[in-house]
Amino acid sequence: MLDRITSIEVFLAVARHGSFTAGAAELDMSRAMVSKHVKALETQLGVRLFNRNTRSIRLTEAGGIYRERVDPVLEALGDIATNIGELSGTARGTLAVAAPTSFGLFHLSPVIAAYMQRYSEVNVQLMLTDRQVDLVDEGFDVAVVIRDLTDSSLVARQLSEVEMVVCVAPAYLAANGEPRYADDLMQHNCLVFSEIVQRDHGLWVFGPRRQPLSVRVSGDLVSNLGDALRIAALAGRGIVRLPNYIVAEDIQAGRLQPILTNLEPQVRPIYAVYPHREFLASKVRTFVDYLIEAFA
């Protein structure tokens, strides 16, 4: 079966030139194939498009009407294809990005501002959330994630790493004492991060991946937002385990104190992930490359 769009292109070329031979030359197609396309189009439409004799061809009334209707449509299709194709070559359009709340606010936002300064035709929609997003279902172009990846269908580019820090306010230590070993945490009020607050995720991991040390902790506050746990820890409510980018300033200022420093901290990778590699839009490619450069 012949392609309908190609048949229309052949029809328009023959109509422009008033000749099957000239139309075939323009399209670099044999005259026999041109005739086949025109015949197929007439059969599909159920009308004659050209009146032919041995010396010339002319559009029928139906052929003239059809030409008037399809010529601008085919031109519009060409413009659409050109515009869509340009998206793979020029960074433009709307870029939807998801990222963890604190990391996005204090570390990613300045990078995005600098990226938009370089690529002025890109608009960014940034959603900050500490839950795991579904890129495809929720329509994100890129997500920055701080965790090991389980979805093998995603393309991942590592940006950096982050250490998980166990820390506490000096007031809590003064009232409750300092844990010396990982198992001591079970006797303390620990502030627990969980994407789903109704589910128990109080498993804190220390050490390298090849030989990790895990301890089950519990406490009176569970939250899906790291900053909420940080604020509670600053108030002396308990011991918290958070990425160092959330608590670094508090530790430096003495508001929080690292503990169990004799244990090797867990290190988590930071990735930029996106749904697919094929036909990658320029806005996605340039953004991910920019992130890699910024966090190197």
Last residue of a domain, one of 86, 104, 133: 86
Same domain, 171 and 221: yes
Q: Are 27 and 173 contained in the same domain? A: no
> 131 near 195, Cβ under 8 Å?
yes
- 286 and 222 together in one domain: no
Tens of pLDDT, residues 171-230: 999 999 999 999 999 999 999 988 665 455 688 989 877 788 989 999 999 998 889 999
Pair 170, 257 in one domain: yes
Q: Are residues 37 and 99 in the same domain?
A: no
Kindly report the average pLDDT of the chain as a whole number.
88
Same domain for 227 and 98: no
Together in a domain, 82 and 118: no
What is the rounded distance in angstroms from the CA atom of residue 116 to the CA atom of residue 47?
55
The residue out of 66, 86, 106 marking a domain boundary is 86
Of 147, 129, 92, the closest CA to residue 227 belongs to 129
* Planar angle of CA 278, 284, 288, nearest 5 degrees: 105
Whether residues 134 and 44 fall in one domain:
no
Residue where a domain stops, chosen among 86, 114, 149: 86
- Interval 63-82: pLDDT, tens: 888 898 888 887 777 766 65
User: Both 154 and 280 in a single domain?
Assistant: yes
What CATH number has the domain bearing residue 245? 3.40.190.10
Are 245 and 125 members of one domain?
A: no
Q: What percent of the chain has pLDDT over 70?
A: 91
Question: How many residues are given for the chain?
Answer: 296
pLDDT at 85: 54
Residue 76 C-alpha from the chain's centroid: 30
Same domain, 179 and 234: yes
**24-34 per-position pLDDT tens digit:** 898 888 989 99
H helix runs in the chain, sequence order: 4-17, 20-27, 31-45, 61-86, 101-103, 109-118, 135-138, 170-176, 226-234, 244-253, 282-295
Dihedral class, residue 28 (left if φ above 0, else alpha if ψ from -120 to 50, else beta)? left
Q: How far apart are CA 60 and CA 51, in angstroms?
A: 6
Q: Which of 242, 266, 2, 206 is nearest to 103 (CA)?
A: 242
Whether 114 shows a pLDDT value over 90: the answer reads yes
Specify the pLDDT at position 149.
82
Q: Which of 124, 151, 114 is nearest to 135 (CA)?
A: 151
CATH classification at residue 35: 1.10.10.10
Q: Which backbone phi and psi does 128 adopt, to 5 degrees?
A: -100, 120
What is the number of structural domains in the chain?
Answer: 3
Domain extent for 99? 93-160+269-295
Work out whether strand 155-168 and strand 122-128 pair parallel, antiparallel, or are unpaired. Answer: unpaired
| One domain, residues 145 and 286 | yes
- Render the burial of 243-253: b for 16+ CB within 10 Å, e for the rest: bebbbeebeee
